Structure 1
């Protein structure tokens, strides 16, 4: 599956499986080995106690995804995107120095394009 290969390539590029401020650790491989679709209830039953490392803190998959409504994950990428989307600002680390990516638009660029 292309999405699983994309996640694997992203994980291989960064040995510690940190993505967008979230360290998935061994959970990344476990989720990749799952068969999808996978509903949230089953995912949390099986992996809810697994820890995710955020910038200077840890949390569990359960705590990150519990506020998300009922959903079915079609791929490991769906799970990954949900986790990244649901983590609080704790994953970001230093303000304006986020490893969650950067915006290509700066104030100066915006003014020039107007």
Structure 2
């Protein structure tokens, strides 16, 4: 998800911090939709100092809530958090169904773990 400076400012007003993402983090967290780009560089968003990285859906809800006039630093409600988590899960499930995850299949005797070769 590409972010504008205005979106970053809104997220920061809601308590988010943006940390540069390493290549390993990009590879591991992109599928979970937790990598954001700003000026072409990858970042992770967090509200707890880096232990938990926000998803696209959660960050979008935070930014949207800020745009509705929410007070800076205002915490999302339990219902809003649950809705954002559910939206994220739906996005991930949709990507899996669309072939985002690879399935590896083997053929023949090599596929059977106890197969003896003669």
Q: TM-score, normalised by structure 2?
A: 0.30
Q: TM-score, normalised by structure 1?
A: 0.31
Larger relative contact order (CA 8 Å, sep ≥ 6) = 1
- The structure having more radius of gyration, on CA atoms, is 2
